[in-house]
Amino acid sequence: MQAKILLLDKNHPLIDEQLLKQGFVLDEDFSSSYDEVLKKINDYDGIIIRSRIPIDANFLNRAKNLKFIARVGAGMENIDCETAKALNIELINSPEGNRDSVAEHVLGMLLILMNRLFIASNEVKNGIWLREENRGDELMGKTFGIIGYGNMGKAVAKRLSGFGVEVIFYDILPNLSDEFATQVSLDELQKRADILSLHIPLTELTHYIIDENFINKMEKDFYFVNTARGKNLKTSALVEALKSRKVKAAALDVLEYEKSSFENLDVENDDLKYLLNSDNVIVTPHIAGWTHQSKEKLAQFIVDKILKLYNS
């Protein structure tokens, strides 16, 4: 008998179509609370999730028959990965599915920001015609620094290959340099980068990796881009750096104040208000990996990996 799988979030219908065709038994539950799911999780061999319900140690220890957890996306911070591995539960994600969307979003936000396109467009629509005040800043000739050279970081570097920039990156894994970017130490990145873009998971090591100390070590005034996780950045440190012009401008697709489900904001405070009202900041609602194409690709990679797990 094939595995019984519980789907806890809505995803592309190809997941249901292809897994049912292969004989898997699927149940959908997009509304039950954590406690309600806990009561029945022992009945399932696998779960497919996004971010609605946290998969913590209590959940995993109750899931006696669970063989795999598949997250439709890249980040795994809503899963207690150490406990899952200790219980021999396979962890599956699909960062390959939205890397292209993230890379294009990074370039889109950065070009809008550096060329003041959003500001200038709104001014013209309101009858204001300013040219000198809206001079842009070219990417050409700048050094683009990436932290994290996995699927997302590599996709960004590849997109930059035609822009005449030098791409350098820092990663905790060694020997990752390729035709698109050169690996350097963190100190060298902080010395040379004109632009800084984050492409890292959220872990104990990367929580608030960008704080006052990090920003102060950046030798140049720089542009900052974050499409990774909101809590990789200490927002108050960014606000102070924007006020002092150490950070020239920021493009943020993720915020420290997001709910764990990424569906809305948890708090409202002065730092958030500053970001939302600053001409030097672009904010989008966690949609960098959220294209029509990525929705399908994310789902397809998940299906392929589940089938590989059961056919290996």
Mind listing the pLDDT tens digit for each residue in 263-279?
A: 788 788 999 999 999 99
CA distance 101 to 24: 30
Q: Tell me the whole-structure pTM to 2 decimals.
A: 0.93
In this predicted model, what pLDDT tens digit does every residue of 226-240 receive, in sequence order?
999 999 999 999 999
Residue 15: count other Cβ atoms within 10 Å of its Cβ.
23
Using the predicted structure, report yes or no on whether residue 259 has a pLDDT greater than 70.
yes
Contact 146, 165 (CB under 8 A): no
Q: Can you give the pLDDT at residue 264?
A: 81
As a dihedral over the C-alpha atoms of residue 42, residue 47, residue 52, residue 55, rounded to 10 degrees, the angle is 60
- Active site residues per annotation: 229, 258, 286
Nearest-CA neighbor of 280 among 239, 248, 252?
248
